[in-house]
Amino acid sequence: MQIDLNGEGIATGAGTLAELLCERCFDADSVATALDGVFVPRPLRAVTPLHPGARVEVLSPMQGG
Amino acid sequence: MFYGFTPASRLMLGTAGYPSPALLRDAIAASGAGIITLSLRREGGEGAGFRDLLRASGCRLLPNTAGCHSAAEAITTARMARELLGTGWIKLEVIGHADSLQPDPFALLEAARVLCAEGFEVFPYMTEDLILGERLVEAGCRVLMPWGAPIGSGQGLRHAEALRAMRAHFPDVPLVIDAGIGAPSQAMRAMEMGFDAVLLNTAVARALDPVGMARAFGQAVEAGRLAHEAGLMPPRDMAVPSTPVLGMARLG
């Protein structure tokens, strides 16, 4: 299905947020996730299904003031 | 001082915009800062090096919600930061204007209420409005962070008298001047006025020599605090001779 990952449209075979992180080779312990603007805690990623057009954000600590 | 944590230094340093990671690392060390700020951004593969740098700094981490323009965005960002960093500390920024980067007091209060209720320890970036400060304290904030001037402007304490009134109005709430500081003298002035700490970024990151400037700010903040504790003399309208007149010879 087509989803939006960190602002880019991609095609994914992943069914859940956890599968998406695995498919895209993210270090799952070093990122935080949000689906459609809502925080998804780590334990819920495996039971959080994706849907066509989902907006997924995968964030990590970066420089900031 | 800050939710039960007392840093070794009253300078808080931002980590953005340095010419290189090595200069950032050295600037943190030279500043003596015990608390550094960071953001949450899209993971693009370069995050590992920065995470190592954060760990090696030994500093307490204060994640921010920079760039958020709504309470909902800021709340989501804070929740993500807490999971990532294992801290309930959050520098809460909800920006109202894209050009001035002025905080939106209404959305800020809304977000602060939600986050405090969820157990976050909120550092709200705010204007120096006294009523807003009272509402934030009522919401559960135990620190307030009024701006000195717009972020990155380097203008110093643009509303110094209003900040002085705020200091007097909240004698028991830790107050941090956040943003707008461009020179060590401005940071020192804030400390002389009795503010508990200063948070800055651009003035160090964009200096010709960030490490040297970090050291200068560290010393200015310390000197300003010492001056505040020592008690500044009140200004006078007229001259008062410092050398005693008693015992002066008649030579004319």
Mention every residue, 6+ apart, whose C-beta is less than 8 A from residue B12: B33, B34, B35, B36, B37, B62, B176, B197, B198, B199, B200
Whether the predicted pLDDT of B45 surpasses 80: no
**ipTM entry:** 0.95
| Residue B240: per-residue pLDDT | 87
Whether the predicted pLDDT of A9 surpasses 80: yes
| Residue B72: per-residue pLDDT | 97
B207-218 per-position pLDDT tens digit: 999 999 999 999
Does A64 fall in a domain? no
B46-63 per-position pLDDT tens digit: 788 899 999 999 999 999
Which residue shows structure tokens 């849907």? Answer: A51
> Any CB–CB contact under 8 A between B16 and chain A?
yes
Q: How many CB pairs under 8 A join A and B?
A: 98
Output the pTM of the full model: 0.93
> Any CB–CB contact under 8 A between B49 and chain A?
no
Does A44 fall in a domain? yes
User: How many domains does chain A contain in total?
Assistant: 1
Taking alpha carbons only, the member of B143, B194, B193, B147 closest to residue B4 is B143
Confidence class of residue B143 from pLDDT cuts 50, 70 and 90?
very high
| Average pLDDT value for residue range B200-228 | 98
Confidence class of residue B241 from pLDDT cuts 50, 70 and 90?
confident
Residue B86 burial (CB < 10 Å; 0-12/13-18/19+)? exposed
| Residue B98: per-residue pLDDT | 87
| Average pLDDT value for residue range B153-157 | 95
| Residue B245: per-residue pLDDT | 85
Does A34 fall in a domain? yes
| Average pLDDT value for residue range B117-128 | 98
| Average pLDDT value for residue range A40-63 | 96
Does A8 fall in a domain? yes
Does A29 fall in a domain? yes
Buried b (16+ CB within 10 A) or exposed e, B89-104: bbbbbbbeeeeebebb
Does A28 fall in a domain? yes
Confidence class of residue B100 from pLDDT cuts 50, 70 and 90?
confident
Taking alpha carbons only, the member of B216, B187, B237 closest to residue B30 is B216
Which domain does A12 fall in, by range? 2-59
A32 vs B17: CB contact, 8 Å cut-off? no
Choose, out of B15, B23, B42, the residue to mutate when testing the contact with A (most A CBs < 10 Å). B42
Helix (H, G, I), strand (E, B) or coil at B148: coil
Which residue shows structure tokens 């962070």? Answer: B145
- Percent of chain B past pLDDT 70, that is, above it, reads 100
- Side chain identity, residue B231: G
Range scoring the smallest mean pLDDT among B99-103, B110-114, B181-185, B191-195:
B99-103
| CATH number of the domain within which A40 lies | 3.10.20.30
A61 vs B47: CB contact, 8 Å cut-off? yes
Chain A residues near any Cβ of chain B (below 8 Å): 6-7, 26-27, 30-34, 37-39, 41-42, 57-65
Whether the predicted pLDDT of B140 surpasses 80: yes
* DSSP string for chain A: -EEEETTEEEE---SBHHHHHHHTT--GGG-EEEETTEEE-GGGGGG-B--TT-EEEEEEEEE--
